[in-house]
Amino acid sequence: MMFNTVAGSPEDRQSMYSQSPNSVYRTGDKTSPISVILVSSGSRGNKLLFRYPFQRAAECPSSLAAKQRSPYALLTTGDVVEDLDGDSRFSDIILATILATKSEMCGKKFELKIDNVRFVGHPTLLQHPSIVQVSKTDPSPKREMPTMILFSVVFALRANADPSVISCMHNLSRRIAIALQHEERRCQYLTREAKLMLAVQDEITTMTESEIHQGLIVFVLFFSPIEADGSPRSPFRQILPKCKLARDLKEAYDSLCTTGVVRLHINNWLEVSFCLPHKIHRIGGAYIPPEALERSLKAIRPYHALLLLESEKALLGQLPLDCSPAMVRLIKTCSAVKNLQQLAQDADLALLQIFQIAAHLVYWGKAIIIYPLCENNVYMLSPHANICLYSSLAEQFAQQFAGHDLPSMLAKFSLPVSLAEFRNPLEAPAQEAQLIQMVVWMLQRRLLIQLHTYVCLLVAPSEDEPRLRDEDPLPAARVGGRSLSTPSALSFGSPTSSDDMTLTSPSMDNSSAELLPGGDSPLNKRMTETLLASLSEHERQVILNIPAAQNPEDLRMFARLLHYFRGHHHLEEIMYNENMRRSQLKTLFDKFRSVLVVTNHEDPIISIFQSPME
């Protein structure tokens, strides 16, 4: 996002470069940085070029009355706010000394913890282009121009910040450093900006009290080193309107404290984009840990779908001019009723590329992963949904869907209900399309959760078999069954939709029992016995005594799907992996219902996008 210049009165311009309300310390927020600091080391020594916020809470008039406390006094709740924001205790000279590292540490992660403050940065070594040699008697200013050896953009965090936040802040520091290093080599941009910063600091430092009392009214109003309350004015306030780099650092800090999305244009040329997932992925006041988000993205399968959280027009307007054409094509083709495999076919893109773009959109908070909408999907009201009658969501819903109100619509999902129950053959197709739009709208706002069907094998123990205690491990035969190998991300097929969704997937190790036609052939019998070998003798006898087991076809299908009956694979996943119809599976579950327990709950892969983690 380009920096927009503000035209107006001097008061407007002054407020533009003033400290924003976001810099005020907020207790309990461990994802926001305390400050951002730019330091350098060169021929003039270690210098703190800029820091923001430049006026800490300790400098405010309300905190000037802070009194000395005994080191043995107990901390109260009111005292914690004063002590947590600890970087205000360090002067500029001290920060420049401890943050300007040696050349040997450049190009590596820098992390330093002092009391309750943790400094994170990425020191970068500057390699200036060779300067034309001049004579010693040549009074050219190039020879006397101070050179910068290294610099570092450092973020001050709270000492108890999450390690994932520390890693993200280091990543942002590294990206800004790479852009600054490039511009320094191209046009010495960092040297020019540092020269401006140091000039303002020297100007403010050399001001004396005698100059202020000589009637220089205009000078005092704009450049006085004394604030209205008598405290020293920070030189960094004067740097902001003069230095583009300082404004970029301020914008980065403010974005990290609010939206978590940082878009900078260093020197109006290089774009630096970054997002803090802790700020973007929040549900019910809690953020989704990046580790859980990464695990979920790695578990995406071709039968999942991509749900955009913004309109197509709004999303395309946010893309940079040089974005990938494949992303534009995916956004224009994306639909909540298409799985990723269908999306790859319609967009004429490789499935692996669809996965990568989908993960990119999810990471930036522009989309979530769901299961494609069909009439058999079962939805339920989220326990964390905002069900207030006069909420802002209710107003938005009434404006977008005239004649419908959100509370009444949510009441229909108080209990688990499938979309097929809302179908009315007498209604016009437009009403069915509107129902899909309303469900999509509620899924985008995390008001609904989807329930999937899971199946567990549960055989009653025999009277002679000793009962297991809670602390006893399961028998090896039960644990050592066949493990499900996930389908390849590059599996293609001819997907359909609704009840008869039959998606083709490559042959898998545990579905290798492609039983041959021919009824009771010896080969089929041996395959069935092999698949049932992971069960105990009692379990095999109970299953074989079921009337449906007398049918060889049903028994072979049961044995083929046995490794799915552990409660870890929902019905739609089995349909995709085994290329089966929903009706076939439900019929099989009903025939072996004496040993199968059917449960309904969320899919752990996509549940992190619908409900806050416990």
Interatomic CA distance for residues 594 and 460, integer angstroms: 10
Q: Which residues of 146-169 are buried (b: 16+ CB within 10 A; e: fewer)?
A: eebbbbbbbbbbbeebbebbbebb
pLDDT higher than 50, residue 33: yes
Predicted confidence at residue 527, as pLDDT, reads 63
Name the 3-class secondary structure at 256.
Answer: helix
- The pLDDT of 491-507, averaged and rounded, is 34
Predicted confidence at residue 103, as pLDDT, reads 86
Place of tokens 């009337």: 547
Predicted confidence at residue 233, as pLDDT, reads 65
Name the 3-class secondary structure at 8.
Answer: coil
Name the 3-class secondary structure at 432.
Answer: helix
222's torsion region: left (phi>0), alpha (psi -120 to 50) or beta?
alpha
Q: Which pLDDT band, with edges at 50, 70 and 90, does 120 fall under?
A: very high
The lowest-confidence range among 181-190, 204-213, 305-314, 459-468 is 204-213
Q: Please check whether residue 23 is in contact with residue 253, taking contact to mean a CB–CB distance below 8 angstroms.
A: yes
Predicted confidence at residue 536, as pLDDT, reads 84
Interatomic CA distance for residues 425 and 429, integer angstroms: 9
* Global pTM value: 0.76
Interatomic CA distance for residues 183 and 39, integer angstroms: 17
Q: What is the largest CA-CA distance in the chain?
A: 110
Predicted confidence at residue 604, as pLDDT, reads 87
Residue 235, Cα to own-chain centre: how many angstroms? 36
Predicted confidence at residue 597, as pLDDT, reads 93
Q: Which amino acid is at 257?
A: C
Q: Which pLDDT band, with edges at 50, 70 and 90, does 206 fall under?
A: confident
Predicted confidence at residue 77, as pLDDT, reads 42
Q: Please check whether residue 327 is in contact with residue 298, taking contact to mean a CB–CB distance below 8 angstroms.
A: no
pLDDT higher than 50, residue 605: yes
List of E strands, 186-334: 261-266, 270-275, 282-283, 286-287, 305-308
Predicted confidence at residue 462, as pLDDT, reads 74
Interatomic CA distance for residues 23 and 17, integer angstroms: 13
Interatomic CA distance for residues 110 and 157, integer angstroms: 13
Tens of pLDDT, residues 521-556? 555 666 667 767 778 888 888 888 899 888 889 988
Predicted confidence at residue 537, as pLDDT, reads 85
Tens of pLDDT, residues 348-404? 999 999 999 999 999 999 999 999 999 999 999 998 888 887 888 999 999 999 989
> Around 520, how many Cα atoms within 13 Å sit in the side-chain half-sphere?
4
Name the 3-class secondary structure at 482.
Answer: coil
Highest mean pLDDT among 29-33, 277-281, 317-321, 440-444: 440-444
Query: Residue 156 corresponds to which tokens in the numbers above?
Result: 């001050």
Place of tokens 């522009």: 366
Predicted confidence at residue 486, as pLDDT, reads 35
Place of tokens 């055989």: 459
Average pLDDT, rounded, for the chain: 77
- 76 versus 582: the higher-pLDDT residue is 582
Closest among 554, 500, 553, 559 to 529, alpha carbons compared: 559
- The pLDDT of 447-455, averaged and rounded, is 94
Interatomic CA distance for residues 445 and 387, integer angstroms: 12
What DSSP line would sit under 14-27, residue for residue?
HHHTSPPGGGS--T
Helix, strand, coil proportions of the chain in percent (round to 5)? 45, 15, 40
pLDDT higher than 80, residue 84: no
Q: Please check whether residue 308 is in contact with residue 366, taking contact to mean a CB–CB distance below 8 angstroms.
A: yes
- The pLDDT of 426-431, averaged and rounded, is 81
Interatomic CA distance for residues 255 and 188, integer angstroms: 27
Q: 236 exposed, middle or buried (CB, 10 Å; 0-12, 13-18, 19+)? A: buried
Q: Which pLDDT band, with edges at 50, 70 and 90, does 577 fall under?
A: very high
- 516 versus 388: the higher-pLDDT residue is 388
> Sign of torsion, CA 411 417 423 429?
positive
Q: Please check whether residue 567 is in contact with residue 508, taking contact to mean a CB–CB distance below 8 angstroms.
A: no
**Distances, alpha carbon 61 to alpha carbons 32, 90, 371, in Å:** 24, 19, 55
Phi, psi of 323 (to 5 degrees): -70, 165
Q: Which helix (H) or strand (E) holds 252?
A: helix 244-257
pLDDT higher than 60, residue 510: no
User: DSSP character for 414?
Assistant: S
